[in-house]
Amino acid sequence: MPTTTAPPAASPYLDLTREQWSALRKHTPLTLTAEDVERLRGLGDVVDLTEVVDVYLPLARLLNLYIAAHSGLRGALNTFLGAAPGGAGAQPGTPFVIGVAGSVAVGKSTTARLLQALLALPQGPQETGAPGSGRRVELVTTDGFLLPNAELERRGLMSRKGFPESYDRRALTRFVADVKSGRPEVSAPVYSHLVYDIVPGERLTVRRPDVLIVEGLNVLQPALPGTDGRTGLALSDLFDFSVYVDARTQDIEQWYLGRFRKLRETAFLDPHSYFRRYTQVPEEEALAYARTIWRTVNLPNLEQNVLPTRSRAALVLRKGPDHTVRRLWLRKL
C-alpha cells in the first residue's frame, strides 16, 4: 500500500472517505462527554467530540458487530463438538483481542483509550447483545515489555529503544496468549515514561477481560525465525481485529516535536524525570536533541519496522496534517 495515496482498485482494502465512514455510525449513541475526551486524548492530539462521532462511533459499532460474531463462532464450535452451552465439554468464551499500531506521536494511544472507553459501555440490544451488558475492557501497552534500561545498556541497544529487538517479545506474546486462553489472572510489567524505564516489582494484572486492547509500535510485526530456523507464533496471530494509525511522515515529525515542546513545559519539569536536563538548556538546544532522536531512532524504526506492518491491519486510520482522520481503509473479508 502506498504511503501517500489511496489503495489501488485491486487492493484488499475498501477506501472510504471520512463522510462515507461517518454515515456507517447508524444509531450508535454518543456516550462520552467533551470532558471525557479531554481526559482520554494524548498530549498534542486534537481529538474532540466531532472526531469521536465521525470516526470512533462507527468503529465502535463495527467492533461490536465483530465481537457479537466472535461469540457466535464459539456457539458454532460448541454445536460442532456436541456440547450444550455451559455443559460438559463446552468451550468457554475467550477475550476479543484488538491490536493498535502506529508510529511514535501519531495518536495510537488516544485511539486505544477511546476504544476502551466506548467498548466498555453498556451495549444496546439491536446489534450488540443484551441491553445494559457492559464489558470488561483492558488496555495494555507494549512499553511494559521493553527490556529494562540496564539490560538494554548491556546489549548495546539503548539507542534502539522501541525497535523490535528492544522488547521481550516472547514474554509479550506469552502474556497475550495466556489472556486469550482464558487464564484467570495474567500480569505484565509496568513501564514509567517519567523515569523512562521498567518499574521494579510493579505489575499490571489482567483478570479475564471480555476485550483486551494491545497498543504499541510493533504489535503487527510478523513472526521472526528462531535460532533453529523455525517460525513461531506472532503476536498479531492472536488478534481478532487490528487498527493502524497512519499519517505522512513529515506530519508525524512535526507532531513529535510539538509534543516534545509541551512535555518540556510539563512532565519534564518533574525532578524525577529522565528528561529533566532538557528543561535546563535553551529551547533550541533541546529541540535539536529531539530532532536528532527523530532522525536516528524514531524515523528509522518507523520506516524499517512500523510502516511495513500497515498492510497487516484490518483498518487503517489515515490522518491529515491537523491530526484528524481523513480517510479509512477497511480490509475486505
- The reply to whether 109 sits in an annotated binding site is yes
CB atoms within 10 A of CB 266: 12
Q: Distance from first CA to last CA of the chain, Å, rounded?
A: 17
d(CA 264, CA 254): 15
Long-range contacts made by residues 265-270, C-beta under 8 angstroms, separation at least 24? 266/43, 267/193, 267/194, 270/194
Q: Three cell numbers at 292?
A: 536528532
d(CA 184, CA 301): 35
- The reply to whether 211 sits in an annotated binding site is no
- The reply to whether 106 sits in an annotated binding site is yes
Long-range contacts made by residues 160-165, C-beta under 8 angstroms, separation at least 24? 160/297, 160/301, 161/297, 162/104, 162/217, 162/297, 162/298, 162/301, 163/301, 163/305, 164/218, 164/221, 164/224, 164/305
- The reply to whether 99 sits in an annotated binding site is no
Residues 6+ apart with CB under 8 A from 212: 95, 96, 97, 98, 137, 138, 139, 140, 176, 179, 180, 206
- The reply to whether 320 sits in an annotated binding site is no
Please tell me what DSSP assigns to residue 297: I
- The reply to whether 166 sits in an annotated binding site is no
- The reply to whether 195 sits in an annotated binding site is no
Q: Three cell numbers at 140?
A: 495494555
3-state DSSP helix/strand/coil % of the chain, to nearest 5: 45, 20, 35
Q: What values do phi and psi take at 86, rounded to 5?
A: 80, -5
- The candidate with the shortest Cα–Cα distance to 326, out of 10, 15, 14, 8, is 15
- The reply to whether 243 sits in an annotated binding site is no
For residues 311 and 1, the answer to whether their CB atoms sit within 8 Å is yes
Residues making up the binding site for ATP: 102-109
Residues making up the binding site: 102-109
